[in-house]
Amino acid sequence: MPEGTVQRAQGRGRFISFEGGEGAGKSTQIKKLSSRLNAANVRTLITREPGGSPGAEIVRHLVLSGMGKLLGPDAETLLFAAARDDHVRTVIQPALAQGTWVLCDRFADSTRVYQGRLGRVEPAVLNAMERVTIGDLKPDLTLILDVPVEVGLRRAAARRGNATADRFESEDVRFHEELREAYREIAVAEPGRCVLIDASADADAVAARVWDALRRRFSAASTASAASPA
Ligand code: Z5A
């Protein structure tokens, strides 16, 4: 596939989020996609949630230490929201305004799935938090990397080695099964924004699927005000 088939929008950059369960391979795919876009002269910023800005990284540390779980699902949701608010205002929006493509490892769908579906936080609370933190800022494309739970947990355990599992890694298999189901439901409910990617193949094969999804979404035909990568 020629690199030039993904077009760069003039003005604002594209906002692409990656979602999925434990060990789905988001970080791996984000790095691969960034390299490929850079080779096509598209400037990218790799970032993540929770975190991505100095303030949000402090909250990340708190949440992954298990502190949020002690406070309960509603309070934990507020912590993720506080981190997102800082990240959006200080990193994501300025980068998009400069024409940079933002590749974000998790975004608001993670709150919908982890705190909403798994934590049973009410939709009204999630909606209110989204209004405050992201307003109209929806990703232009959300790639949901889908792997069977046992595959994802095996990958995550291999990567972790002897290190201690964090707050979410230590949840049981049923938690991860429900998580996967919730992501699949989002993909079905929002086909205009989300693409479900089978991420159980090797990393290069998955990267080809990711690129194909991008090409379809941002091809010349579907991008009215597009300019070819310089
Ligand atoms: N959370 C939340 O509850 N609410 C929110 O609003 C937000 C987040 C934003 C952040 O964890 C946690 O916060 C997350 C949800 C919660 N909980 N969990 N779990 P994190 O940032 O520390 O980790 P993560 O986002 O879950 O990422 P991950 O699952 O740990 O990894 P990944 O990025 O998806 O995968 P990876 O690092 O690219 O790959 C994992 C390993 O598999 C690694 O050794 C790779 O080399 C290997 N790999 C990758 N791809 C492949 C393929 N295709 N084949 C074979 N091996 C592969």
**pLDDT tens-place string over residues 185-210:** 999 999 999 999 999 999 999 999 99
Helices (H) and strands (E) in the chain, counts: 10, 7
Distance 224 CA to ligand 1 centre (A): 34
Question: Residues 131-171: pLDDT tens digits?
Answer: 999 999 999 999 999 999 999 999 998 988 888 877 777 78
Cβ distance 84 to 134 under 8 Å? yes
Compute the distance from residue 230 Cα to the ligand 1 centre, in Å: 33
Strands 226-227 and 141-146: unpaired
Amino acid in position 4: G
Q: In this structure, which residue's CA is closest to atom 14 in ligand 1?
A: 168
Give the distance (Å) from ligand 1 centre to CA of residue 80. Answer: 17
3-class DSSP state for residue 147? Answer: coil
Predicted pLDDT of residue 229: 35
Cβ distance 31 to 210 under 8 Å? no
Residues 6 or more apart whose CB falls under 8 angstroms from that of 52 comprise 87, 91, 92, 104
Rg of the chain over Cα atoms, rounded to whole angstroms, equals 17
Please measure the distance between the N-terminal and C-terminal CA atoms of the chain and give it in whole angstroms.
17
Length of the chain: 230
Q: Give nearest CA residue, ligand 1 atom 37.
A: 27
Among the atoms of ligand 1, which is closest to the Cα of residue 145?
Answer: 34
Each residue of 63-80: pLDDT tens digit?
A: 999 888 889 999 999 999
Q: Which domains does the chain have, with CATH numbers?
A: 10-219 (3.40.50.300)
Atom index in ligand 1 nearest the CA of residue 30 equals: 38
The answer to whether the Cα torsion of 31, 32, 34, 35 is positive or negative is: positive
Q: What is the pLDDT of residues 105-135, one digit of tens each?
A: 999 999 999 999 999 999 999 999 999 999 9
For residue 194, the SS3 value is strand
Question: Which tokens sit at 200?
Answer: 């159980």
pLDDT (tens digit, 9 = 90+) per residue, 7-56? 554 689 999 999 999 999 999 999 999 999 999 999 999 999 999 999 99
Q: What is the pLDDT of residue 143?
A: 98
Which residues lie with the beta carbon below 6 Å from any ligand 1 atom? Answer: 20, 22-28, 48-50, 80, 105-106, 110-111, 114-115, 155-156, 158-159, 168-169, 202-203, 206
The number of beta carbons lying within 10 Å of the beta carbon of residue 207 is 21
Amino acid at 169: E
DSSP conformational letter for 121: -
Nearest atom of ligand 1 to the alpha carbon of 51: 9
To 5 degrees, how large is the angle CA 80–CA 210–CA 97?
Answer: 55
